[in-house]
Amino acid sequence: MKTIVKQITTDKNFILVGTGFAAYKTSKPSTFMVNRLPRADEGVIPMVAVCDESGNIKWMKTNEIMIISIDGNSPLDILKDN
């Protein structure tokens, strides 16, 4: 299945290679010099792998792209048929 996506900020097209996510966890020490737990922040960021016309792979956040076509059909045409 060939899926073409467009990066919203640059208006540049890419080929969708796959999906995944980035996970992060940060920890800041307590502000007081006592045995308190550090403040922690963690989460996941939905990501997609895309490639450009040269085959270079990049990771992008899912909210930075939009799907242009799937196997030559627009998402609207695919959904209208169902």
Encode pLDDT of 12-63 as tens digits: 999 999 998 777 777 776 666 565 666 777 888 899 999 999 999 999 999 9
Predicted local confidence at residue 51, as pLDDT: 97
Residue 57: partners with Cβ closer than 8 Å, 6 or more residues away: 17, 49, 50, 51
User: How high is the pLDDT of residue 15?
Assistant: 98
Which comes out higher in pLDDT, residue 82 or 2?
Answer: 2
pLDDT recorded at residue 52: 97
Q: Is pLDDT of 82 > 90? A: no
Angstrom distance (rounded) from CA 48 to CA 25: 20
